[in-house]
Structure 1
Amino acid sequence: MQALVQRAMGVLAQIEAWLPPAPPAIDWTAQAFRWQRRGARGWLDAVHRIAPIHLDDLQHVERQKSVLERNTRAFLEGKPANNVLMTGARGTGKSSLVRALLDAYGAQGLRLIEIDKSDLGDLGQIIELISGRPEHFIIFCDDLSFEEGEAGYKALKSALDGSVSSPGDNLLIYATSNRRHLMPEYMHENLDAQHQPDGEIHPGETVEEKISLSERFGLWLSFYPFAQNDYLDIVNHWLAFHGCTDSQIQASRPEALQWALERGSRSGRVARQFARDWAARQL
């Protein structure tokens, strides 16, 4: 009998060696967190080195900035606030706005939890972890979109609006996407008067199901490509940030336009990339 017990203990020790380590204790002093998963275990990993950006650094998105800032202030003050979906042109400041809000309101109790789309099925665990905390948390998912059958789709719908349990007053979901309805749509789905090859009897209801997720975000903010002068304004801002003189900034104009032309985009991201390159060469 003793030999059998020892053998069982040995087997258990081998199994334990293969299990992922226990999640570390959460460092609630941090202002930002990243949801991490290893095997069956997930935890909030504190982020202490946050990429710096300020609200004043984001140019020519004044309307979107004011709406998002107003919603976030209401959230921090305990007033009604909405989940937010930001869609539109790439590189126009959607993700940067969320990080800039943390810079502006972190001292007032705002906290940010970054989560990958593939881990959205863990939203229930995250809600349990932050339930009852005095801070106000924004769960942030960047470049959100879904393909057919992805598991996180249903979990996000439930967390936004539809679950019998409340996510609490200290949680909002902010997401960015280049796709307004978050899932692909096809021309044949609009032909609901015809029989479909896949046997779907009510294809119109399939379309409604796809649209319903984005409708659960209370605020939609759209971002658009910048005009040429707007793009140059952003370039000038970042060149001044890096210490370039007025004469150097004026001399950069032709190269800034060529830089945007080569990349096929006049976005804020392209403007900042050019400013880094130009400033490095001039300084």
Structure 2
Amino acid sequence: MGAKRGELERIAAALERIAPPTPEPVDWLASPAYVWSGESTRTVLALKTTPLETLRGIDQHKAAICSNFARLASGAVAHDMLLWGARGMGKSALIRAAAVATQDEHPGKLALIQVAPGALANVTNLIAELSVQARAFVLFIDDLGFGAGDTQDNLALRSLLDGGVMARPANVRLAVTSNRRAIVQRNAAEDGALHERDERDNALALADRFGLTRGFHPCDRDTYLEILHAYTDPLGITFDEEEALAWSIARGSRSGRTAYQFACELAGREGFSL
């Protein structure tokens, strides 16, 4: 009997050694940003992004988003945010830059939490944890889009924004970016006008739930060059405008992202870093 008990104790000890350690509780007041997978949280010790002053051609968007972030950090009523439109025009960069600017003005008052794709179904658990924290939080859902037949995340987000049983606390707001105004399905089925209309109605029902929406559009020639100058002028780098425009044509996009990529090319030639 004693030998059997000893064997069981050895097995139990071995299982304890191979079992994963109990995760440490998250300190929601310690870091400027976090990444939430739906099951675990990773802290981001430094939130690095393009400075607000370098983001050109979107001045009205910057003012609206930064004002909303500041309101949230100060405890005032703030909106959920939807940034939609052309890719590469600074939607995600603006969210990160606004968070950094707000943290500089209101130290310790606000954190950015990036929600991983597919984690929306469990986001109410995260919100319940955040609701008791003495801090404001922006849940950042980047490049949102739904695949064909993917209604679960759509409905989960709609319920979260407006209409769920559990009221969302005032210290938690959403910032969502999408390449499409209606957040339409990326691979919409082509099985008739009625189905297409239903899908669009569902998407618009989601978009309508955001209190603050801003549309981003492809930039014109002058804005593209202005964005490029924002990166190159501080380094004292000059460039040929025709080459810069040819770069954008070759990539099929005249956007802030394309300007940044060309600035990286120029800086690399000179041995600089951006």
Quickly name the TM-score band, shorter chain normalised. Answer: 0.7 to 0.9
Task: Call closer, same or farther: CA 1:50–1:207 in 2, change over 3 Å.
Answer: closer
Q: Is the 8 A contact 2:55 2:90 kept in 1?
A: yes
- Cα deviation code 1:174-222 (max 9, x no counterpart): 0000122223256656448xxxxxxxxxx96665334312221122110
2:67 partner letter:
R
Counting aligned pairs with the same residue, the percent is 31
* Structure 1 residue 8, shift from structure 2 partner: 6.6
- Per the normalisation by structure 1, the TM-score is 0.83
Tell me how many residue pairs correspond in the alignment: 264
Distance 2:18 2:156 in 1: 29
Q: What residue in structure 2 maps to residue 276 of structure 1? A: 264
Distance 1:216 1:177 in 2: 14
Q: Is 1:130 paired with 2:118?
A: no
Q: What residue in structure 2 maps to residue 252 of structure 1? A: 240
Q: Is the 8 A contact 2:146 2:183 kept in 1?
A: yes
Distance 1:119 1:186 in 2: 24
Q: Is the 8 A contact 2:228 2:260 kept in 1?
A: yes
Q: What residue in structure 2 maps to residue 226 of structure 1? A: 219
Distance 1:182 1:95 in 2: 16
Distance 2:263 2:117 in 1: 31
* Structure 1 residue 103, shift from structure 2 partner: 1.3
Q: Secondary structure at the match of 1:211?
A: helix
Q: What residue in structure 1 maps to residue 70 of structure 2? A: 73
- Cα deviation code 1:144-198 (max 9, x no counterpart): 0112235322322221111122220110000000122223256656448xxxxxx
Quick check: 2-11 or 252-261, which moved more? 2-11
Distance 1:257 1:159 in 2: 43
Question: In structure 2, which of residues 50, 55, 68 is the aligned counterpart of residue 53 of structure 1?
Answer: 50
Q: Secondary structure at the match of 1:232?
A: helix
Distance 1:13 1:181 in 2: 55
* Structure 1 residue 20, shift from structure 2 partner: 4.7
Q: Secondary structure at the match of 1:140?
A: strand
Q: Secondary structure at the match of 1:117?
A: coil
RMSD of Structure 2 on Structure 1 (CA)? 2.5
Q: Is the 8 A contact 1:120 1:152 kept in 2?
A: yes
Distance 1:218 1:68 in 2: 12
Q: Is the 8 A contact 2:66 2:102 kept in 1?
A: no
Q: Is the 8 A contact 2:247 2:262 kept in 1?
A: yes
- Per the normalisation by structure 2, the TM-score is 0.85
After the TM superposition, which residues 1-283 of structure 1 pair with which residues of structure 2 at under 5 Å, given as runs?
Answer: 20-27=20-27, 28-37=29-38, 42-107=39-104, 108=106, 109-147=109-147, 148-184=149-185, 190-191=193-194, 207-241=200-234, 243-244=235-236, 248-249=237-238, 251-283=239-271
Task: Call closer, same or farther: CA 1:150–1:3 in 2, change over 3 Å.
Answer: farther
- Cα deviation code 1:209-243 (max 9, x no counterpart): 343122211221100000011101111110123x1
Task: Call closer, same or farther: CA 1:15–1:189 in 2, change over 3 Å.
Answer: farther
Q: Is the 8 A contact 1:24 1:43 kept in 2?
A: no
2:179 partner letter:
N
1:97 partner letter:
L
2:225 partner letter:
L
Q: Is the 8 A contact 1:239 1:276 kept in 2?
A: no
* Structure 1 residue 69, shift from structure 2 partner: 1.7
* Structure 1 residue 75, shift from structure 2 partner: 1.9
1:34 partner letter:
V
Instruction: Specify every segment of 5 or more residues in structure 1 that has no aligned partner in the other structure, as ranges.
Output: 193-202
Distance 1:44 1:23 in 2: 10
Distance 2:115 2:246 in 1: 36
* Structure 1 residue 266, shift from structure 2 partner: 0.9
1:256 partner letter:
A
Task: Call closer, same or farther: CA 1:222–1:207 in 2, change over 3 Å.
Answer: closer
Quick check: 81-90 or 175-184, which moved more? 175-184
